[in-house]
Structure 1
Amino acid sequence: MPKPTRSQGLEVRAIKWGVRHPGMVAVPAGLATAVTKSAVEWGLPTTSGIVGGALLGVAGWYRGHPASFDQVAAPWLRAFRRRWLTYVGRRWADILSDCDLVTVNRRTDAMAVPRILRVRSASPSIDTIHVRLNRGQTPSLFEERADALAHALLAQRVAVVKIKPQVIGLVIERENPFGADPIPAIDLPHDADEVDLGAIELGDTEYGTPWTQSFLGQHLFTAGATGSGKGSLLWSPLRGMAPLLRDRLVVPDVIDLKEGMETEIGAPLFHRRAIEWADAVSVVESFRDELKARQAVLREQGKRKFTPSVETPLRLLQIDELGMMTSYGPASEVRGVLKLLSEIMTQGRAAGFGVCGYVQEPTKDTVPIRELFTARVCLSVTSQSQVDMVLGDGMRLRGALADEIPLDPAHAGIGFVVEQGSCNPLRVRASFQTDQDIRDLVAFVTSGRPRLHAVA
């Protein structure tokens, strides 16, 4: 076949574009038809009022309820804007051409550009692009050019995820929304009425809003490599509950099998604290026994749920490092511990007993009870697969690049959670607790009442 001497007609290219993007043709056409029909039937003033009212309604939603707007509408609007302004036609082709990611037909000299199938923008700083590869291209080719793509797109990094044959996902992290400085500890609340156990502040979200977590009927799982900032998520909940710790409406236990180094400075905060294996097993057993006793009391009172009080406080069991209890301990005793923890986590919700586990290796072999945790945080981890292990299948493709978070002080405490009622990952950063912050917390909680500390 001879090489063409002229390009394809504009009308043919327009038809092909319309076939590939039917929504961009059908939606505007449908809106135009509806507006025209309304103008004919009801008149121009009425139609203008309807359109204006709709726009005002959207503006009111944006201003009046930012949380629902950011969760429902903002991702779609961001994706639309990025698709047709940032990753549009010729610009997209030029970027891939500059990165040697296009192919050229040797017979016709026609350049084939990998086509964008879909753009997602679940967060302000991360986009996911589904791309159909050209024949002969492989995901590894894009992985080799990932750094070049990141620079061409003015992004911090680009990750490549295989979706299915000939289709990949490019996860584009455009910026780090938190900066290099850690988030300081929140001001200590002084009154129990200021504390909502359904929304304890742990840090900030990438939107600049407080990151909160419920500790009522929840078990919190935090995974992260050494240096990722897991300690912040051990102390931040306690700081947010400070008045309730003081008034004994919340009573925490802790297991710290790293020789107690992490929790020594805050030891007086805990009802029981174990730093040796035998003591740790005793703490778990005692915690389970208290749960059974609480269940009996609630049953006698005809109650299905507990209410935090001095008689029935919220009980928290914090385990740092969880893998030591569920995998690395004496084999003959690990099975018994797993049985106790499973019992606590499946029955503790209504009775006010919660578990917070912190682990470096989140695999099923290390933490067989991983699925029993109801809330999860993925800080910096060491492999791509660990992201989906912690947050759920497909979360890395949706933008949770926890394996790409550098392990340095400038990124400590940064991670991802999955928003309630949503399938979108949310980037968060836990507030940093200095040694002095922990000392201040201990002084506040223990002043004016006996110490709670008791070693199992």
Structure 2
Amino acid sequence: MSVTIVQVVWRYPGTVFGGLVVLAVYRSYGSTVLLVVVVVIVVVVLVVRLGYPEFWSVRVAGPRFRYCKRRSVRRQWRGTCEAVGLSTVRVSHRTGARTFWTPGLSQLRWSSRTGMVLAARVRVLAGQTVDDLAGCAETLASAFGARSVRVRATGPNTADVSWLFTDSLAGVLAPLPVEAVPNLVALPVGVQEDGTPWRLRLAGTHLLIVGVTGAGKGGVIWSLLRALGPTIRSGLVQVWAVDGKGGMELAPGRPLFTHLATTAETGVELLEEAATVLAARAARLAGTTRKHEPTVAEPLLVVLVDELALLTAYVPDRKLRDRAEKALAMIATQGRAPGVVLVAALQDPRKEVVGLRNLFPTKIALRLDEKAQVDMVLGDGARDAGALCHQIPETSPGVTYVKVDGQREPVRVRSAYLDDDHIAALAIEYAAPSDPTTSDTGSGTNDAPATLHLVEDEVSPQTGPVAA
């Protein structure tokens, strides 16, 4: 009997405590006072619930939900594992007794209260792998009422499991603050689904951005340029851009670009010039250093190509297409060490359109048409690991999955959105200094100037090298 009472108190502490309070008031003051107290409590609860919904959500409903959900996961973990096939049964040879073994659950805690993310460390059983656990992700999400589950391997037999109960990426994300001294290996461009900042590495890598029309590729590009703003203005970073849409996408930010090409011909010339710069740098740095440090005299060169397919697949001139592929291949294979970074965006990820996609260490997949395209962009197994790019709704531009080489699981994020006014202000505030040492290959239209008309602006005092 005593054991049963202890179990009830342990499982339902709030109910037991409330019952004891009611009993104490009733025995001390009678039913009339008890009724008055109950009415007052009900009125106060209704006033707070209806009059101050935000306070109620943060201070009452939220904590209660987190408390109940955490207890629910811990209590139901064993039964859920048995239901989804993660438990094993071992029979004793001597007694014939059956013993159920379940993957170990530890460190169960709320890693993000604003994003409603419940995280735990799970140790799989002997004979199981983390892939077996990841294969049950959808079932584990449904069993505990979560929107989705993420499984990230931390060892050969351990993984961090996260239950996401809300979609923190549902709303449009405003432009992020610009850091005074940008870190080229951690540029803030958005937010992850657990509520933490999404920081994108630029130095020492290449970026491939893929998504259908309206998926939000522009949001990723402009957020990246915004994060680079102070280094563009100071001259530590130069952006050479190719706009395959004839200038419709990138022309509003023209002052940000040292060079801007808006036709296939000038775009190929720009790529070849970047390859020439790459070769000269590599020859000079060979034997002295393995890592390029950006300076104003020798900045980090970002080659930005919007709609890569217009240079690699849809150009009718075969010779021009071959020149583009040769220059792109050189930049993609040799550019990281000498400080020449390729950022390419396109809509169609098929091999015949972009044969170099495996040379991009960082891959960003927005909304895609077909589920087969997910693995084309992010690599084999990405869709099974939770990258559901083909299920991103049209009403959520900027929502994307990011896969970095060496990282097993893709991460769901959302980039900030910059409207035309934000882009115009960005171009004015962080205009690039003129580059008299090279000619401009960016005159993609007849009325475009041979060199960019840059807006006069104060040069940032940051003139030393940036850690890459």
What range describes the TM-score normalised by the shorter chain of this pair? 0.5 to 0.7
> What does the per-residue CA deviation read over 1:241-289, in whole Å, with 9 as the maximum and x for residues that have no partner?
1110011000001111112100111011111111111111111111111
Q: Secondary structure at the match of 2:336?
A: helix
- Structure 2 CA distance for partners of 1:283 and 1:236, relative to 1, 3 Å: same
Identity of aligned residues (%): 31
> What does the per-residue CA deviation read over 1:105-156, in whole Å, with 9 as the maximum and x for residues that have no partner?
xxxxxxxxxxxx95439xxxx93349xxxxxxxxxxxxxxxxxx98x98676
Q: Secondary structure at the match of 1:351?
A: coil
Mark the structure with the bigger radius of gyration: 2
Give the match for residue 421 of structure 2.
Answer: 436
Give the match for residue 312 of structure 1.
Answer: 298
Give the match for residue 42 of structure 1.
Answer: none
1:296 positional shift: 2.6
Once the two structures are superposed, the pairs formed by residues 289-328 of structure 1 within 5 Å of their partners are 289-299=276-286, 302-328=288-314
Once the two structures are superposed, the pairs formed by residues 59-74 of structure 1 within 5 Å of their partners are 74=119
Give the match for residue 7 of structure 1.
Answer: none
Give the match for residue 229 of structure 1.
Answer: 216
Give the whole-Å Cα distance in 2 for the aligned partners of 1:423 and 1:75.
Answer: 18
TM-score, normalised with respect to structure 1: 0.64
Give the whole-Å Cα distance in 1 for the aligned partners of 2:326 and 2:263.
Answer: 19
The answer to whether structure 1 residue 345 and structure 2 residue 332 are counterparts is yes
Check whether the contact 1:119–1:129 (CA below 8 A) recurs between aligned residues: no
Q: Secondary structure at the match of 1:231?
A: helix
Of 395, 402, 413, the match for 2:389: 402
Of 81, 101, 106, the match for 1:24: 101
Of 354, 376, 382, the match for 2:341: 354
Give the whole-Å Cα distance in 2 for the aligned partners of 1:358 and 1:127.
Answer: 31
Check whether the contact 2:302–2:340 (CA below 8 A) recurs between aligned residues: yes
1:175 positional shift: 6.0
The answer to whether structure 1 residue 128 and structure 2 residue 128 are counterparts is no
Check whether the contact 2:174–2:416 (CA below 8 A) recurs between aligned residues: yes
Give the whole-Å Cα distance in 2 for the aligned partners of 1:377 and 1:331.
Answer: 29
The answer to whether structure 1 residue 379 and structure 2 residue 366 are counterparts is yes
Give the whole-Å Cα distance in 1 for the aligned partners of 2:88 and 2:283.
Answer: 67
Check whether the contact 1:223–1:379 (CA below 8 A) recurs between aligned residues: yes
1:352 counterpart letter in structure 2:
G
Of 303, 315, 323, the match for 1:329: 315
1:434 positional shift: 1.4
> What does the per-residue CA deviation read over 1:375-434, in whole Å, with 9 as the maximum and x for residues that have no partner?
0011000001100011111111111110001122xx110011135643112110011111
The answer to whether structure 1 residue 187 and structure 2 residue 177 are counterparts is yes
> What does the per-residue CA deviation read over 1:31-88, in whole Å, with 9 as the maximum and x for residues that have no partner?
xxxxxxxxxxxxxxxxxxxxxxxx9xx69xx89xx79xxxxx94644999xxxxxxxx
> What does the per-residue CA deviation read over 1:314-358, in whole Å, with 9 as the maximum and x for residues that have no partner?
001111101111111124121221111111111111100010110
Give the match for residue 13 of structure 2.
Answer: none
TM-score, normalised with respect to structure 2: 0.62
- Structure 2 CA distance for partners of 1:406 and 1:283, relative to 1, 3 Å: same
> What does the per-residue CA deviation read over 1:149-199, in whole Å, with 9 as the maximum and x for residues that have no partner?
98x9867699xxxxxxxxxxxxxx976623542111111233xxx211010
Q: Secondary structure at the match of 2:89?
A: helix
- Structure 2 CA distance for partners of 1:292 and 1:205, relative to 1, 3 Å: same
Give the whole-Å Cα distance in 2 for the aligned partners of 1:302 and 1:17.
Answer: 58
Give the whole-Å Cα distance in 2 for the aligned partners of 1:294 and 1:278.
Answer: 25
Q: Secondary structure at the match of 1:319?
A: strand
Q: Count how many residue pairs are aligned between Structure 1 and Structure 2.
A: 328
Give the match for residue 430 of structure 2.
Answer: 445
Give the whole-Å Cα distance in 1 for the aligned partners of 2:376 and 2:399.
Answer: 18
CA RMSD of aligned residues (A): 3.8
1:294 positional shift: 1.6
Q: Secondary structure at the match of 1:310?
A: coil
2:285 counterpart letter in structure 1:
L
> What does the per-residue CA deviation read over 1:286-318, in whole Å, with 9 as the maximum and x for residues that have no partner?
11111112223323x822221110111000111
Give the match for residue 365 of structure 1.
Answer: 352
Structure 1 unaligned residues grouped into runs of 5+: 1-12, 29-54, 68-72, 81-116, 131-148, 159-172
Once the two structures are superposed, the pairs formed by residues 69-84 of structure 1 within 5 Å of their partners are 74=119, 76-77=121-122
Give the match for residue 167 of structure 2.
Answer: 177
Structure 2 unaligned residues grouped into runs of 5+: 1-81, 92-97, 113-117, 126-130, 150-162, 444-468
Q: Secondary structure at the match of 1:377?
A: strand
Of 257, 273, 290, the match for 2:260: 273
2:397 counterpart letter in structure 1:
A
- Structure 2 CA distance for partners of 1:248 and 1:233, relative to 1, 3 Å: same
